[in-house]
Structure 1
Amino acid sequence: MAADSSVRSPRELIERLFGELPARDPDAFVALLAPDAVFEIPFAIPGHPTHLEGREAIREHLAQRWSGLSGIEVHAIHPQVYETTDPEVLLVENEVDMTIPGSGRARRRTSVNVVRVRDGQVVLFRDYMDTARFARLAAD
């Protein structure tokens, strides 16, 4: 997959990536990644991977992860993107507007991400999400 030429800056790429997340489409997510991208989940649920390499491994993981959240309806994701002194690295705080079974609709901070973009593609996506908390929300 080639980089999308309509994306002009790392910030624009990140905003597009997070703008598409409510659809939970792993193919759309990995389309913005480099072929050898790395996806890290430092706080993964025990027994789940903490480090994935390559688009296909990332796509398979996200497809499985997102299918397990079928009880949660995501309406929008509101990323707050912060540029760093390294032009390739951005920090992202996420608030998700979602409906949780039994709890109703709410906007909750769900994760912080460190993202490295090179040549118009994501080469590193580090997801600091409390995955166990999110899984509990989906199961309730």
Structure 2
Amino acid sequence: MNTLSYDQAKQLIHLFADHYIHKDYAAFFNLFADDVVFEFPYAQEPNPKRLDGKAALQQYLEKLGKVLEITSFTTPVIHIAAGAPVFFAQFEASGKNMATGRPYEQSYISVVEVQDGRIVRYQDYWNPLA
């Protein structure tokens, strides 16, 4: 089984945040494997709990971008899984709810699995009430 270094995880989550904030979607989607599985365990209807593939992720983010603008992420706290290509990232995001104009403040814990330098599974744990 492959392992992942702290520096690799740090670089990957930095690029994830940077590309997303700067709306560099081509570079953002290049971080993911074509068959990526993106999960939202705490999602409530009508939001999906799982997206299969890069195309589904792209469609989801296009819809999300119409209702939510994230303008910053905090520096993540990163933990590497022992003996596996998995890391955990804890961070916060700030932005604006586009529908209401109200501030958006969210805490995240993400579980990220990497293969051949690309994200193959991303579990996004966030508070659905924020």
TM range (shorter): 0.7 to 0.9
Mean Cα displacement is larger for which, 13-22 or 35-44? 13-22
How many residues are treated as equivalent by the alignment? 120
Which consecutive unaligned segments of at least 5 residues does structure 2 have? 1-6
1:1-140 correspondence runs (5 A): 9-69=8-68, 72=69, 74=71, 76-78=72-74, 79-98=76-95, 101=101, 108-131=105-128, 133-134=129-130
Contact 2:19 2:25 in 1 (8 A): no
Q: What's the TM-score, normalizing by structure 1?
A: 0.72
**CA RMSD, aligned part only?**
2.4
- Report the 3-state secondary structure (helix = DSSP H, G, I; strand = E; otherwise coil) of the residue aligned with 1:65: helix
Q: What's the TM-score, normalizing by structure 2?
A: 0.77
How far 1:130 sits from its partner (Å)? 1.8
Which consecutive unaligned segments of at least 5 residues does structure 1 have? 1-7, 135-140
How far 1:87 sits from its partner (Å)? 3.9
Identity %: 25
- Report the 3-state secondary structure (helix = DSSP H, G, I; strand = E; otherwise coil) of the residue aligned with 1:12: helix
